[in-house]
Structure 1
Amino acid sequence: MPETILRGKPLEEAKKVAVMVHGRGGNTASILGLADYLHLDDFALVAPQAPGNTWYPYSFMAPDKSNEPSFSNSLKTLDGIVEDLKAKGFDSEQVFFIGFSQGACLSLEYTAQKAQKWGGVIAFTGGLIGEQFNPSKYGGDFDGCPVFFGSSYQDMHVPLSRIEESALQFEKMGANVKKLIFPDTNHTIRQEEIDWVNENILK
């Protein structure tokens, strides 16, 4: 199991947990830095570190086999975190996922394969993973779980078409989806995204 860093409130005291998933080339420090901007004071923060700073080696839309076994192992990492949290008494509504770029893709993929009423899913530039979009992989009911997608209209790594397909899939599975798509080409997290997430999911 990859190294996992704990920050924020101790798990024994927290009523909410944010699983924070870094992007390709990032690390736990880079994703935990978002806590300076997001309303996470009441959260325990759990940040896993990807081996070699990448959750899978190629694009999230590369041929599926090319990203194995890293992709499957990365899903197992998130599942291990969730199972550990459940063993500590947290239910799914107390667990939030926050990811950027590759970490957003992985968070979306995991929560769609394990759809239930999570506390929230926050995807800063991400979409569901696979060479072809394959809705048959996903099952369950989000039961109104808030899900956020934020990106530029022409991101260099994540096509808008995949974001829109992913958002529609989440809606079909009962999520309360919000998309904010910006008229730039920057691979970043914008203040408008931070503000919306703080006011509507992390309030």
Structure 2
Amino acid sequence: MRIAWFAVLPLLAACNSTPSAVHEGSISRIADRNKPDTPALPPPDSTRAAAVNAQADTLVTAKQVHLFSQPGGKPDVFRLVLRGPSVLEGAATFTITDASGQVIFRESLSAADLEAPMVYEMKTPTATPAEREAFMRRRIREFFRPAQFSSPAVPTAAPYPTGPEAPDHATWNDLRKRPDSIRFTYLVGKEDRRSIAWSPLKKQVVRL
């Protein structure tokens, strides 16, 4: 049986155009599926991040510039910084930094260490949180009073101290020969009065 050529031509044309149309339709549907349901998020706000820094939890700071490790040279920076959730629950860091920027002494003090001497000032059995906080702030503010620095660090006639924190005899005797050496004395807790000095022999801060 013969098929008329004019009947076959439309079928061939339809077959040749079908793959292209299907391919384009598939791409269109894939692209639609890949479109996000919500608009793109805006870029992060960097100005808010700049407002946060490592000192964000600093509550109270005391600073004093005083001669210490270089009696005849440049002064050191004494700093006490209280950080934490609140003044009564924080922790303080006591540091001494020399003129080159090196920290030559570091000690941690709890809020209880700083608050303990308040018992000697109380006129009632208890104190309110506001009174305790006021004492803590004053205590930190006055931590580096000029009267707490003295020279020489070790008087010539001073007897060698006893106790686990005493320096060795060589360090003690060396300081006794240095009339320009400087001692710093501070109170921890109610009765723990500590004294420190820079030892040129040891090249470090020592307890006296």
Provide TM-score, normalisation by structure 1: 0.25
More strand by share: 2
Highest RCO, 1 vs 2 (Cα 8 Å, sep ≥ 6): 1
Provide TM-score, normalisation by structure 2: 0.24
* The structure with more radius of gyration: 2
